Amino acid sequence: MPAEQYAIQTGTHPEVTTAKNIARYREQLSKIGFCYDWDRMVRTCDPDFYKWTQWAFIQMFNSYYDQEADKAKPIAELVKRFEKEDPTWATKTEREQQEILMNYRLAYLADTKVNWCPALGTVLANDEVSEGLSVRGGYPVEQRVMRQWSLRVSAYAQRLLEGLDRIDWSESIKETQRNWIGRSEGAEMLFQIKGLDEAFTIFTTRADTVFGVTFMVLAPESEYVQKVVTAEQQAEVEKYLQWVKTRTERERIADRKVTGVFAGSYAVNPLTNKEIPIYISDYVLAGYGTGAIMAVPAHDSRDYAFAKHFGLPIIPLIEGADVSNESFDAKEGVMMNSGFLNGMQVKDAIAAMKAYIEKEGIGRVKVNYRLRDAIFSRQRYWGEPFPVYYKNGMPYMLPEECLPLQLPEVDKFLPTETGEPPLGNARVWAWDTEHKQVVDKSLIDNKSVFPLELCTMPGFAGSSAYYLRYMDNHNNEALVSKEANNYWQQVDLYLGGSEHATGHLIYSRFWNKFLFDLGYICQDEPFTKLINQGMIQGRSNFVYRYIGEGATGNLFVSFNLIENPEYKDKVQPIHVDVNIVHNDLLDVQAFRSWLPEYKNAQFIYSDGSTDEDNPYIGQATPKQYICGWAVEKMSKSMFNVVNPDDIVAKYGADTLRLYEMFLGPLEMSKPWDTNGIDGVHRFLKKLWNQFENLSDDEPTPDELRSLHKLIKKVTWDIEHFSFNTSIPAFMIAQSELSKCSKKQILKEFAVLLAPYAPHIAEEMFSLCGGVGTVFDAKWPECNEKYLEESNVKYPVQFNGKVRFTIELPKTASREEVEKAVLQDEQTPRFLNGGSPKKIIVVPGKIVNIVV
RNA sequence: GCGGCAUUGGCGUAAUUGGUAGCCGCGCCAGACUUAGGAUCUGGUGACGCAAGUCGUGUAGGUUCGAGUCCUAUAUGCCGCACCA
């Protein structure tokens, strides 16, 4: 998208921009010393790669979800079934047959209400829209109906949900996906419309509350709206519907005021046979359930607010529930006012009512999912073309052997003047079915040459299965060979941001399960283990501009003084470039030359003095201006951006790597504060100095102990992704071994350090006589023999408080330890005249005496 | 509103199975070397207290010989979802 935006602005082909960005990223990754097997590189915009994206799309088009088998199957099997079971099938025209099949295909065309963004000339997915504005660009988005490709992700809802229990992902991201899938068990019920031979279906999770239904509500977009509007109400309803249309998504969400309108008609409560009014309100969403609800104001807070506003009756259904001021939403208590449900617990009442509904044929038990199908068309240029041509308005797939269908050249990357997507600008963009090739559009005759699809695929098309391609990226015969797939199986560890929770990580799982169903791959989940790395946040600094009486806009107050009465509420915090602040002290000269507006900046320093008090600022005893700080997103506008390239240039990649790990646990977000970096840099320098005069002497037991302690720690840390705790271990070992220059020790040290600080470790390894690269060296093994201590230092507690420690042989038995502690000269002091009530000895750990 | 995660010195953090809270680093303080220091080295640094000692892991309870760790409630912050029936 940025590449396409750039193309629109400058005419530079997105391919050029993308190639440049890839090169830049690769350079940066290399600079930091990341190891990748570049032979396995894939690029989703490369025709050799997107051939398989198109191939997968064709498979989805040619598949349906078999509910009984609970998996995807070839659509040919469904056709066979229709031929066998439906006598009218053969009498239908091809077009009719195709239209029916479209309701089953996993990739299908449908009229969808979409988020249309006029400024971008494109449709956005739900997760690409935020508060009525496009996530990228921030343009207004409106609702519009459009015929688009969709992927039937919803068919996999239950399996996507169940699969979560079998994968080792963070609880937070699994929970996010569970919520996104949104399974709810409930019932669908029919409500007759009075005076019409029509009924509409509602979905409810609270079947037990039917006796308390006092009105119905339809979503403004519901197809039933026109049917239930009476002549008298027509004008008012129209007015309301028009008003709803003008509301942006943002307003609909943010505004919690009750709005709605009476439709004029009544429905009949199937249990009480009472007539209840039908309303239209935008608090009911068209996209969820059936777009219609039965309102139970006593036990649903939104229904309650609506009933209060329109003066509708509220019937409490649970004994003891006070609904005079708010609804009682909890699913607990004993039923009342509910006919045959009276006296039952809510849970039992729900079950009883569901059974009743099915028995009486007024509805059915239903599981509802919030998860919606993914819209798969984009009105953009820079994406994978669909391998699709249109015959009589019906889509047909290109033969698989003709893939990839390459993206055509266009003059401009904008939508056409007639509102077609950018591919409408391509001249050579028609499919010749006889010669099986792309030909000039002027040749379209709708007999053997047909128009090609003008939309392209979205970003997640290429990113959904790329990991499978890593397994076998040079294979021209298959996405991945059986052999390669059986060898690699699935991704062992996926390290990624949590922002992908409801997008990429759902689509990938869907895509993978689909390929699994068709037998192309051997695992139904793509990513065994997933870790969300924390975000590196920015640490901003502030100066405080005086805005009180007599302010010139040029005076800045030190942070430590801003709470003083003369400055309190009279200063305005202003972001200042973190690069001219050191340990929260402002470089005032640099500040004055930073931006022209600060050229004549004056300061009230930390001791309350001003520039005039000391004309020799910056010389003998510099006064200090203290800055405030805050943790915020790293962003240019907050002047807290730190470029890794600059850090590498100044300290080297190894220091950058060590410091980044040192900041804290992998999964945790943390602020980047360059000020602490000297610590790890010093460590590397000190360690490096030990390699000056290397010796071949035999190591002492102490040296071996330090080394093997380190081996044990670092090995454990790596296996547990606890890289931050390794750095202190290295520092401690370095400090213990600071006098050691023995190759035997330092060589192993270098091997341990290699994953953390690869460049310097490689040098160190070589200096110690290591052969080849350190990365091929055998990982050191911890020998417990060197760690054994003959004595244990027991902390001795009295009533849980540590009073002293006592050193005893490791072999001492429980009784011996107890005896030794009681005989210790310090013990009587803490017994305080009393006698030990109980003595707990944990061998090798601790002693606790209860007095 | 629902769900997840977090809360430990001035700061980033550590404490791996319920067993000496604060490792390591930054910052700060003192000293050494130095013409000088945003260099290097050494020592100190949770709070209160002269000390013995007392207190101390957001808050309030609980379990336990013993709780940063387990349980209950609660506050605050961050993230995700949301007029979701």
The enclosing domain of A750 has a CATH number of 1.10.730.10
Roughly what angle, to the nearest 10 degrees, separates helices A653-662 and A677-689? Answer: 130
Measure A664 CA to B8 C1' (Å). 14
Q: Final residue of a domain: which of A753, A769, A786?
A: A786
| A753 and A723 together in one domain | yes
Q: What is the pLDDT of residue A616?
A: 45
- As a whole number, mean pLDDT of residues A371-388 equals 90
Roughly what angle, to the nearest 10 degrees, separates helices A653-662 and A14-32? Answer: 80
Q: What is the pLDDT of residue A61?
A: 96
Category of A814 on φ-ψ map: left (φ > 0), alpha (ψ -120 to 50) or beta: alpha
Lowest mean pLDDT among A110-114, A164-168, A545-549, A583-587: A110-114
Measure A388 CA to B13 C1' (Å). 56
- As a whole number, mean pLDDT of residues A420-442 equals 94
Question: Which range of residues forms the domain containing residue A127?
Answer: 42-158+374-460
Distance CA A328, CA A346 (A): 12
Let me know if A603 is exposed, middle or buried by CB neighbors in 10 A (0-12, 13-18, 19+).
buried
Q: What is the DSSP secondary-structure string of A301-367?
A: HHHHHHHHHHT------BTT---SSS----S-SBB-SSGGGTT-BHHHHHHHHHHHHHHHTSEEEEE
**Nearest nucleotide by C1' from A799 CA?**
B65
Q: What is the pLDDT of residue A538?
A: 82
Question: Which nucleotides of strand B lie under 7 Å from a protein CB?
Answer: 2-5, 11-16, 19-21, 23-28, 38-41, 54, 65-67, 78-85
| A223 and A326 together in one domain | yes
Q: Is residue A826 part of a domain?
A: yes
Does the pLDDT of residue A817 top 50, yes or no?
yes
Distance CA A184, CA A178 (A): 11
Does the pLDDT of residue A846 top 60, yes or no?
yes
Q: Is residue A99 part of a domain?
A: yes
Does the pLDDT of residue A688 top 50, yes or no?
yes
Q: Is residue A658 part of a domain?
A: yes
Over residues A602-642, the pLDDT tens digits come to: 888 887 778 766 544 444 345 778 888 887 777 777 888 88
Give residue A575's pLDDT band: very low, low, confident or very high (50, 70, 90): confident
- As a whole number, mean pLDDT of residues A591-596 equals 88
| A514 and A384 together in one domain | no
Q: What is the pLDDT of residue A133?
A: 64
Does the pLDDT of residue A123 top 70, yes or no?
no
Roughly what angle, to the nearest 10 degrees, separates helices A653-662 and A644-651? Answer: 120
Lowest mean pLDDT among A64-68, A92-96, A117-121: A117-121
The CATH number for A306's domain is: 3.90.740.10
**Nearest nucleotide by C1' from A253 CA?**
B83
* Domains in chain A, number: 7
CA Rg value for chain A? 35
Q: What is the pLDDT of residue A10?
A: 84
Kindly report which amino acid residue has its CA closest to the C1' atom of nucleotide B19: A846
The CATH number for A821's domain is: 3.10.20.590
Q: What is the pLDDT of residue A69?
A: 92
Q: What is the pLDDT of residue A615?
A: 45
Give me A158's structure tokens.
């239950």
| A575 and A524 together in one domain | no
Over residues A77-91, the pLDDT tens digits come to: 999 999 999 999 999
Kindly report which amino acid residue has its CA closest to the C1' atom of nucleotide B40: A682
| A63 and A143 together in one domain | yes
Distance CA A199, CA A449 (A): 47
Nearest to A453 by CA among A481, A426, A490: A426
Measure A725 CA to B22 C1' (Å). 15
**Nearest nucleotide by C1' from A300 CA?**
B85
Distance CA A416, CA A420 (A): 5
Query: Percent of chain A having pLDDT more than 90?
Result: 39
Measure A219 CA to B53 C1' (Å). 71
Does the pLDDT of residue A14 top 70, yes or no?
yes
Give me A450's structure tokens.
């047909």
**Nearest nucleotide by C1' from A846 CA?**
B19
Q: Residue holding tokens 């330090």?
A: A706
**Nearest nucleotide by C1' from A182 CA?**
B84
| A46 and A115 together in one domain | yes
Q: Report the b/e string of A65-77 with b at 16+ CB within 10 A.
A: bbeeeebbbebee
Q: Final residue of a domain: which of A532, A563, A592?
A: A532
Does the pLDDT of residue A250 top 70, yes or no?
no
A246 SS3 class: helix
| A289 and A424 together in one domain | no
Q: Residue holding tokens 């010393």?
A: A33
Q: What is the pLDDT of residue A136?
A: 64
Nearest to A135 by CA among A126, A144, A143: A126
**Nearest nucleotide by C1' from A203 CA?**
B85
Measure A171 CA to B70 C1' (Å). 20
Over residues A194-247, the pLDDT tens digits come to: 888 888 889 888 888 899 999 999 988 888 888 889 999 899 999 888 877 666
Q: Is residue A749 part of a domain?
A: yes
Query: Percent of chain A having pLDDT more than 70?
Result: 95
Q: Is residue A633 part of a domain?
A: yes
| A681 and A776 together in one domain | yes
Measure A332 CA to B2 C1' (Å). 17
Does the pLDDT of residue A46 top 90, yes or no?
yes
Q: Final residue of a domain: which of A442, A460, A478?
A: A460
ipTM over 0.85? The verdict is yes
Does the pLDDT of residue A472 top 70, yes or no?
yes
- Per-residue H/E/C for A800-844: CEEEEEEEEECCCCHHHHHHHHHHCCCHHHHHCCCCCCEEEEECC
A396 SS3 class: strand
Measure A541 CA to B64 C1' (Å). 47
Over residues A310-344, the pLDDT tens digits come to: 989 988 888 877 777 777 777 777 888 888 888 88
Omega before A622 within 30 of 0, i.e. cis:
no
**Nearest nucleotide by C1' from A837 CA?**
B65
Q: What is the pLDDT of residue A706?
A: 92
Q: Is residue A87 part of a domain?
A: yes
Q: What is the pLDDT of residue A213?
A: 92
Q: Is residue A174 part of a domain?
A: no
| A230 and A340 together in one domain | yes
Which strand (E) or helix (H) includes residue A576? strand A571-576
Query: Mean pLDDT, chain A, as a whole number?
Result: 86
Give residue A847's pLDDT band: very low, low, confident or very high (50, 70, 90): confident
Question: A736 near A683, Cβ under 8 Å?
Answer: no
Q: What is the DSSP secondary-structure string of A180-236?
A: HH--EEEEEEEEEETTSS-EEEEEES-GGGGGG--EEEE-TT-TTHHHHB-HHHHHH
Q: Report the b/e string of A751-768 with b at 16+ CB within 10 A.
A: bbbbbbbbebbbebbbbb
Category of A607 on φ-ψ map: left (φ > 0), alpha (ψ -120 to 50) or beta: alpha
Give residue A248's pLDDT band: very low, low, confident or very high (50, 70, 90): low
Give residue A135's pLDDT band: very low, low, confident or very high (50, 70, 90): low
- As a whole number, mean pLDDT of residues A727-747 equals 92
Q: What is the number of other CB atoms lying within 10 angstroms of the CB of residue A282?
A: 20
Q: Residue holding tokens 């009230």?
A: A604
Measure A343 CA to B85 C1' (Å). 24
| A119 and A248 together in one domain | no
Highest mean pLDDT among A279-283, A521-525, A552-556: A521-525
Nearest to A706 by CA among A680, A731, A743: A731
Measure A327 CA to B68 C1' (Å). 41
- As a whole number, mean pLDDT of residues A4-12 equals 82
First-to-last alpha carbon distance for chain A, in angstroms, is 72
Give residue A140's pLDDT band: very low, low, confident or very high (50, 70, 90): confident
| A215 and A359 together in one domain | yes
Which whole-number Å values give the CA distances from A75 to A72, A160, A443, A475, A839, in the listed order? 9, 22, 32, 27, 75
Kindly report which amino acid residue has its CA closest to the C1' atom of nucleotide B83: A283
| A211 and A348 together in one domain | yes
Distance CA A758, CA A749 (A): 12
Question: β-strand A363-368 against A184-193: which pairing, if any?
Answer: antiparallel
Does the pLDDT of residue A267 top 50, yes or no?
yes
Measure A840 CA to B48 C1' (Å). 32
Q: What is the number of other CB atoms lying within 10 angstroms of the CB of residue A200?
A: 21
Distance CA A845, CA A851 (A): 20
Q: Is residue A393 part of a domain?
A: yes
**Nearest nucleotide by C1' from A305 CA?**
B83
Over residues A15-35, the pLDDT tens digits come to: 999 999 899 889 989 999 988
Q: What is the pLDDT of residue A692?
A: 86
Alpha-helix residue ranges (DSSP H) falling in A423-493:
459-463, 466-470, 482-488
Give me A467's structure tokens.
């990991």
